[in-house]
Amino acid sequence: MGYRFSGFQIDKIGVIGSGQIGPDIALHFAKAMHTRGVPVVVVDVSAEALERGRAKVNRKIAKGRESGAFTPEAAESMVRHLSFTSDYEQLRDAGLVIEAATENLEVKRRIFAELEELCGPAAILASNSSHIEPDELFAELGTRERALVIHYFFPADRNHLVEIIPGSETAPALVDALLALYEEIGKVPVRVGGRYGFAVNPVFEGLFLAAALAVEAGLGSVKEVDAATRTALGMGVGPFTAMNLTGGNPITDHALDEMTSKLGPWWRSPRLMQEAMASGKPWDVPGRDEKVELSPEREERIGDTMRGAYFGLVGQILDSGIISLADLEVAVETGLAMRAPFDLMNALGVPRALQLVEAYAADHPGFAVPRCISAQARAGRPFRVSHVLRRDAGDVAVLTIRRPRVLNALNDDVFEQLYEHFVALHSDPRIAAVVLTGFGTRSFVSGADVGFLARIESPADGATTAERSKRAGNLIESLGKPVVCALNGPALGGGVELAMCCTARIARKGLPMAVAQPEVNLGIVPGAGATQRLPRLVGMEKAAEMLRTGRGLSGAEAVACGLIREEVDGNVVERAIELARAAARGKVTLPVIDPGPMPTPAALPPVEIGHRSRAIDGLLCRALLEGCNQPLADGLQVESEMFGACCATEDMRIGVGNFLANGPRSKAEFVHR
């Protein structure tokens, strides 16, 4: 069957190396490609390594089957599509081969010379090298336009980050296609320039170096620095623990010494690493539930030191020009499971962040103070982190909401950036239509960040919040150019409200749950237009049932009731571009919401609302009946007033508090007042 994407065909995938990361790369491909009939072949010269890799993959698949993550049929299909062999001939006709062998330039060059002859000029040849620049890796290849680095992160089957690093001769169309492919199969790909170590490893290894130097300087023990760094930087695990988990000592030891000449004089393998390498022992790190006791003064000193190093490292990478600020932010947050760097600098204040970097540089010769942080501090503004990305496909602009760790949830920054983009698009004569979509395949928009609800202090504050959340959507609705929403995944709450402001909505085919308005489960009414636009699109009875119960619709159900125009079996964004362009040229007519009053019954049909708040249900019914009886603009104002009123109820506090404490699956115990 095979897999075709952006003009490239993949009928077989190869992975070279059955060591630490190769089997996990193969497992991820098997999970993504087994339904398309694409075999994944792992090749290694060591029979022992092959057996270890096979056992590791089978163990993970079995665990997934036991937990319910994989159906028995899917698990069996994955195993069937995976093979482990020492025979390189099994890679013949592979459309994509990823080398994940030892980090040795000569070994890698020999492998690629063999692959070039075996696989032919059409194959995509990639290395999972964690440091070596692609131009150095592929210098001896004859077909360098199909060669590049694709750098995975531990554990490769579950860590979403992938760095895509083209060489100077890599075909741009291939880079774009691979970025799209990896997004399609569940990764968060970022494009990075070919500097030694690329973008994220200098953060990972640089933080380890900074932590080791902190121990050497007497700021604390390995265990203390590990724990304090984890807290200061919002890390899933501290730098020494991460080194234990990844088995990274040998690679990091070599890389840090290489970085002295490649990146600057601060970089080197520290004495502490030399001692660890000589002993062969793991780092003495905190246990899973161990509480490391530190005085507040010592914890603050370690934290400030490590924050200064962290900010300096990411600033130096941004100064190098190998990656954009938005991509660096999402890459570090995703790949290293830690607080996003520019968000953290903004929270502390950029001038304070600069002070920490300057203090670190003063204590550590050779550590550069980044120009970007100095300039931002002088400007007196926080860093702008783009969560809404624009690309133009001819005369159609494509806006993508990208916040992968929170499934593209909306917050004030996203609303403001959407508004700014649509203001620009309104007056851009080159753009005839717009497509709005979300990043990845897991969600279009998972709703609005719930944390802001807990900060609403009064009904007036609530009404103002609702009005602010409508600003971008109202502009989309009145843009004067067709706007097609491409639902790449489910839309919840504010995501549906945003989609309803668009001229038309299309969805990826087969979504079991495509749209839902679950606000009542939080003890609130919708605040960004659902009580007014949904009835005008699907009728009052259907809208009231959805809004009062929070129950969602599958893609097919959403098409049947008119909320979604069509399901797409294929690339939903490409179809949205086609539809938007056709509408702009008058070849397709896309009906818009009637902004006038709609026929409204005296009362709504009875609905079983279960455990949900009767107080909130009353406000919701008022928004529907009183608002829809008026022109759309006035009805939206009624909705904002009802949202404000719900902010005065006990049930709103109960619902939001329960969500933040226990998650979306927990039912709040409402008191109906």
% of the chain residues with pLDDT over 70: 100
CA distance 317 to 201: 10
Q: Cα angle at 162 between 160 and 166, to 5 degrees? A: 165
pLDDT on residue 1: 63
- Those residues whose C-beta lies under 8 Å from the C-beta of residue 148, and which sit 6 or more positions away, are 124, 126, 127, 134, 164, 165, 166, 167, 170, 174, 175, 178
pLDDT on residue 121: 87
CA distance 128 to 19: 12
| Coil, helix or strand at residue 485 | strand
- Shortest CA distance to 234 belongs to which of 348, 325, 367, 402? 348
| CATH 3.90.226.10 is held by the domain 388-662 | yes
CA distance 349 to 380: 9
Tokens, residue 665? 């699956």
| Coil, helix or strand at residue 396 | strand
User: Which candidate in 116, 163, 497, 641 is catalytic?
Assistant: 497
Residue 358 designated active-site: no
Q: How does DSSP classify residue 310?
A: H
Residue 417 Rama label (left phi>0; alpha psi -120 to 50; beta): alpha
| Coil, helix or strand at residue 324 | coil
Burial readout 338-376 (b: 16 or more C-beta within 10 A, e: otherwise): bbbbbbbbbeeebeebbbbbbebbeebeebbbbebbbeb
Burial readout 588-606 (b: 16 or more C-beta within 10 A, e: otherwise): eebeebeeeebebeeebee
CA dihedral 661, 662, 666, 669 (to 10 degrees): -30
**Cα 500 to the chain's mean position, in Å?**
24
CA distance 207 to 609: 51
Q: Which residue has the tokens 């753009």?
A: 431
Burial readout 38-59 (b: 16 or more C-beta within 10 A, e: otherwise): bbbbbbbeeeebbebbbebbbe
For residue 89, count CB atoms less than 10 angstroms from its CB and return exposed for 0-12, middle for 13-18, buried for 19 or more.
exposed
For residue 316, count CB atoms less than 10 angstroms from its CB and return exposed for 0-12, middle for 13-18, buried for 19 or more.
buried
User: Which candidate in 519, 567, 639, 641 is catalytic?
Assistant: 519
pLDDT on residue 2: 73
| Coil, helix or strand at residue 415 | helix
pLDDT on residue 461: 92
- Shortest CA distance to 470 belongs to which of 580, 606, 634? 634
- Shortest CA distance to 304 belongs to which of 378, 394, 222, 214? 214
Tokens, residue 535? 């009835």
Give the pairing type, strands 3-5 and 8-10. Answer: antiparallel
Q: Are 654 and 523 in contact (CB under 8 A)?
A: yes
Tell me how crowded residue 380 is: count the other CB atoms within 10 A of its CB.
8
Tokens, residue 619? 């406000």
Tell me how crowded residue 155 is: count the other CB atoms within 10 A of its CB.
16
Beta-bridge partner residues of 438: 401
| CATH topology identical between 3-191 and 388-662 | no
| CATH 3.90.226.10 is held by the domain 201-379 | no
pLDDT < 50 positions in the chain: none
Residue 519 designated active-site: yes
First to last CA, the chain: 58
Q: Where are the domains of the chain?
A: 3-191, 201-379, 388-662
- Shortest CA distance to 514 belongs to which of 486, 487, 548? 487
**Cα 607 to the chain's mean position, in Å?**
37
Please give the full DSSP string across 563-620, using - where no structure is assigned. SSSEEESS-HHHHHHHHHHHHHTTSS-------S-----SSPPP---TTS-HHHHHHH
Q: Which CATH class is domain 3-191?
A: alpha beta
| Coil, helix or strand at residue 437 | strand
